[in-house]
Structure 1
């Protein structure tokens, strides 16, 4: 048989920990001597995830402008480009965190149209504890409407494996509760407890992903009207700026200040954060800070441990509010942070919008 590429897609809601998980998986397979390619996905360019993974020395391609399902041809072209010099042994794919129905629109098309080139491995979906617990318990005040919560439920419904991630942030009782909620809502779906950050439970994940079988076959019964309306509730912003100062400053503190001030602004406006990330890059140094919900703590997920006079910042914000308001809030916080450092702020590019209705390139209603 000719060389076949392992195709591993890891899904989950915005802020579930997909990028950290893929980074750890990429390192594992690279350490096995395999050639690894990573494909990230976003509704717009300037993605923190892409820059963070590339900064770790990984071969990363990006599908921007729409989800994998709507830009399926771009996904396959990106994979081909990653293999232009050396054919990958493994492709790790990270879909947009607000997307679902990926079995019918991504995995099944690969099975049917590119069967000779790929082997499909289990589709793992990370559960985001901060919103997942409230949504699976049908609690009010999850921060999202029932239409947005519908997406998170559908993501887990089509999974071959559900990962309770961020267990390093949870008590044993909280992890047990989440596992019980998954068993109750998605009976028969295997569940693993993991921490993408610390690596706990990672051996079990790798072992599961190495299985062969009829994976990626849970085709959803899905209402695209509800799906589209739920996704459109989120304001989507990607902004790229440069800060320059005559005096040096801590890059990591700047990243945390940006996230902390944005969290305060969103709380004041009464809008829920789905995910907020910022990366600072300068001359080989980089750091990343993020926030996964209004109730969580801002985190420095990757420390740069450096002081700089100049830095390129990328801010990605996914928030349940109007895009124009989101732009105003992010711009104001960046201006405040620059002023506090007596730094010049150059806004290079900002895109803000609500995602459009998903229109898949392919959709197979029955598994092959």
Structure 2
């Protein structure tokens, strides 16, 4: 069982990416479970995901790396026992620290083969985020296995190169590439990074 944790600030495109990855794994014939942590965000909830045919569980009203840590571990155990998926994709709230979620995944009893963090940077709001919440953003990306710059379709000329350079300087030796989860631009590169 492989676990992917989507890490990124509010509005970075985690839910759109979650849907793309779930669809990719379903097409590959792999049993996929989704765990979504809604904390007052506007997004796709567990009921909507279930209506689209996905095995989904929603953890509302709290952060899975903080106040809902026990709930997360219970949910993961239930997913393993009830669904026994090949892949679990976890979408924490945009205020979560993905490495804390990874710690909880790894200490729970689901025995993942591998747990990966996908860091998601929002090109549209990148400058504001780094200006106002740089330390928090760095903490969110600090343990990412790779970082994607999302919303490539909305980037101004030269912006992808600027942000890539910044990310490479802050997180050396991490793959960084840009995609548009909305338009599928460069999404194949992301799929190639996945198990």
Q: Give the TM interval when normalised to the shorter protein.
A: 0.7 to 0.9
TM-score normalised by length of structure 2:
0.86
Between the aligned partners of 1:192 and 1:199, the Cα distance in structure 2 is 13
**Contact 1:36/1:92, CA 8 A, preserved across alignment:** yes
Alignment equivalent of 1:167, drawn from 130, 139, 152: 152
**Contact 1:121/1:209, CA 8 A, preserved across alignment:** no
In the TM superposition, residue 7 of structure 1 has moved relative to its aligned partner by 0.7
Matches for 1:115-264 after TM superposition, within 5 Å: 117-136=111-130, 138=131, 146=132, 148-210=133-195
**Is residue 90 from structure 1 mapped to residue 87 from structure 2 by the alignment?**
yes
Gaps of at least 5 residues in structure 1 are 139-145, 211-368
Between the aligned partners of 2:148 and 2:128, the Cα distance in structure 1 is 17
Structure ranking higher in strand proportion: 1
**Contact 1:107/1:120, CA 8 A, preserved across alignment:** no
Q: 1:59 to 1:202 in 2, by over 3 A?
A: same
**Contact 1:132/1:152, CA 8 A, preserved across alignment:** no
Q: 1:110 to 1:7 in 2, by over 3 A?
A: same
Deviations 1:267-324 (A, max 9, x none): xxxxxxxxxxxxxxxxxxxxxxxxxxxxxxxxxxxxxxxxxxxxxxxxxxxxxxxxxx
Please say which structure displays the higher CA radius of gyration.
1
Using CA pairs under 8 Å that are at least 6 residues apart, name the structure with larger relative contact order, 1 or 2: 2
In the TM superposition, residue 47 of structure 1 has moved relative to its aligned partner by 5.9
Between the aligned partners of 2:118 and 2:3, the Cα distance in structure 1 is 12
Structure ranking higher in helix proportion: 2
**Contact 1:62/1:78, CA 8 A, preserved across alignment:** no
- Cα-Cα RMSD: 2.3
Matches for 1:309-348 after TM superposition, within 5 Å: none
TM-score normalised by length of structure 1:
0.48
